[in-house]
Amino acid sequence: MLRFRCALPLLLLVVPLSAQTPPKAESLKEWANRRQARHAYGVYLQNSKIGWFIHDFRPGKKNGKDVAVETEDFYIEIRREGVKTTTAIQTVTWYDLAGDGPVLGLEQTIRQGQREVKSTVERTDKGMRVTTTVGEEKTSRDLPASKKTLASQRQLEKWLAGMRKKGDTFESWNIALDIDDFNVQETVTWKARQKIAWGGVTTDVHDVEVRLQNVKFDAKILDDGQPLIGKIGGLLELKAEKESLAKKLDGQPVDLTFSSVVEVDKDLGDPENITYLRLEVKGFGDFKLPTSHRQKVSRKQGEDDVHIIELTRDARAKNETPLTREQRARFLRATNSIQSDAPAIRDLARKIAGEEKDAIRIAEKLQAWVHDNLRQTLGANATTALEVLKNKAGDCTEHTLLFVALARAAGLPAREVTGVAFVNVGKPAFGWHAWAQIHDGKQWVTVDPTWKQVYV
């Protein structure tokens, strides 16, 4: 099961809060004072409320210095195969009010049940230092300076106020703590100006699309930038509400296992017996599906909204696709979650691999150890490889996270892959799943430590 990742707060960072038309000579501090506001949103899945999001922006102090403080509170309550799961995430970001308004620091706390993960980001002379604490485990990593600034957010406000045409884009930077790259690019695309009924009043809005980390956020926003409604990944819906209403959750939590599956029109039987599969899929819109030697994607002739996906089992490709030096370094790099440089991870990888030199054989040994030593459960969420190793439990995301860390520690370039896999949950469907890939020097090879498979 693919764990829900916190794309919502990240996506909303690009949308400015309500504001009046800025004066020409407005300083960054004056702009931050004018922008202070608090907005609340209900979060819905298939018309059922599953959580809320609060965004607060106002002047403040940090170490006696005037700063702008942005606070985001996100709460979600769901079920997964009948097991209730609650996730609360608070992110506080401090911005300098001098220059371009760079990020001075950030604190993020993630709570899932009794589990807590705290990350702090502090500015240093060379960039940023990220420290992650899970229980008694603490890891730190030095990264380049954040490219996100208040100036870019102010520029976005001016961009929205200008004359726009369909397809105009605005690019800026954001922060992502859970991926290899600390700085991630964010793109806002203007689509149209519309009139919608909101609160019984006909309201002019901008129809925009925001893309961040391959996640699409379609939103209706006002001239001043305040979002009224939006949809994330075509699945989660966001609605502006009074805070008391936004935080009111009614009824039983939605079961994400069944509400997020992709149904198919026939039972495929035992997936082990399938060597080729052709699917006709609707609903991807303009999302670019990945292709490879085993996955081909095309549009159905005469039906632009239908994708044809042809899949085969993984095998040796006809043409080699070696990694560049930069790509190899990226997929060997330790991160805050993939702690491949931690002594416990390095020692375990060395012990499992032994004297083996062949990349595929090393991958087979590593995935077998992960499969055989982790208890499969939905109730052991973890965000770092060390935490997974300590718990020795989890679902497909935990299995994949630990495997990727072990593979990188063993010298194999590795990455996590997310998608769908065939399941039968009372009806034939594809459910969200996570697995891994290692590069053996010639091509990417699929490895699924949850199901103990190589060349899936």
The third-level CATH classification (topology) of the domain covering 325-454 is C8orf32 fold (3.10.620)
What band does 22 get if pLDDT is binned at 50, 70 and 90? low
Pairwise CA distance, residues 409 & 402, whole Å: 11
Distances (CA, A) of 267 to 67, 295, 451: 58, 21, 20
Cα 5 to Cα 33, 110, 161, 163: the distances in Å are 32, 11, 32, 35
pLDDT per residue as tens digits for the range 205-236: 999 999 987 788 999 988 777 899 999 877 78
Nearest CA among 221, 167, 209, 153 for reference residue 14:
153
Q: Are 80 and 289 contacting, i.e. CB atoms less than 8 angstroms apart?
A: no
Distance (Å, whole) CA 319 – CA 194: 49
* Lowest pLDDT segment from 62-76, 95-109, 149-163: 149-163
- Provide, rounded to the nearest whole percent, the portion of the chain with pLDDT above 70: 92
Question: Which residues contact residue 129 at a Cβ distance below 8 angstroms, ignoring those fewer than 6 apart?
Answer: 121, 122, 140, 141, 142, 143
**Average pLDDT rounded to a whole number, residues 129-145:** 87
With bands split at pLDDT 50, 70 and 90, how would you rate the model's confidence at 381? confident
pLDDT band (50, 70, 90) for residue 423: confident
- So what's the pLDDT on residue 2? 37
d(CA 172, CA 156): 9
As a whole number, mean pLDDT of residues 115-119 equals 90
Tens-digit pLDDT profile for residues 229-253: 999 877 789 999 999 999 998 777 7
- pLDDT score of 126: 87
* 3-state secondary structure labels for all residues of the chain: CCCCCCHHHHHHCCCCCCCCCCCCCCCHHHHHHHHCEEEEEEEEECCEEEEEEEEEEEEEEECCEEEEEEEEEEEEEEEECCEEEEEEEEEEEEEECCCCCEEEEEEEEEEECCEEEEEEEEECCCCEEEEEEECCEEEEEEECCCCCEHHHHHHHHHHHHCCCCCCCEEEEEEECCCCCCCEEEEEEEEEEEEEEEECCEEEEEEEEEEEECCEEEEEEECCCCCEEEEEECCCEEEEEECHHHHCCCCCCCEEHHHHCCEECCCCCCCHHHCCEEEEEEECCCCCCCCCECCEEEEEECCEEEEEEEEEECCCCCCCCCCCCHHHHHHCCCCCCCCCCCCHHHHHHHHHHHCCCCCHHHHHHHHHHHHHHHCEECCCCCCCCHHHHHHHCEECHHHHHHHHHHHHHHCCCCEEEEEEEEEEECCCEEEEEEEEEEEECCCCEEEEECCCCEECC
CB 384 within 8 A of CB 139: yes
Tell me how far apart the alpha carbons of residues 195 and 205 are, in angstroms, rounded to a whole number. 6
Q: Is the pTM of this model over 0.85?
A: no
Domain ranges in the chain are 28-247, 325-454
- What mean pLDDT is predicted for residues 102-126? 91
The whole-number average pLDDT for the span 119-128 is 92
Residue type, 87: T
- The answer to whether residues 237 and 63 touch, using CB atoms and an 8 Å cutoff, is no
What pLDDT band is residue 286 in, cutting at 50, 70 and 90?
Answer: low
421: Cα separation from own chain's centroid: 19
Averaged over 300-310, what is the pLDDT?
86
| Average of per-residue pLDDT values in the chain | 87
């208040």: which residue's tokens? 150
Neighbours of 36 (CB within 10 A): 15
CB 108 within 8 A of CB 89: yes
Q: Output the CA–CA distances (angstroms, integers) from residue 445 to 106, 214, 297, 363, 416, in the order listed.
A: 37, 22, 19, 10, 12
pLDDT computed for residue 257 by the predictor: 67
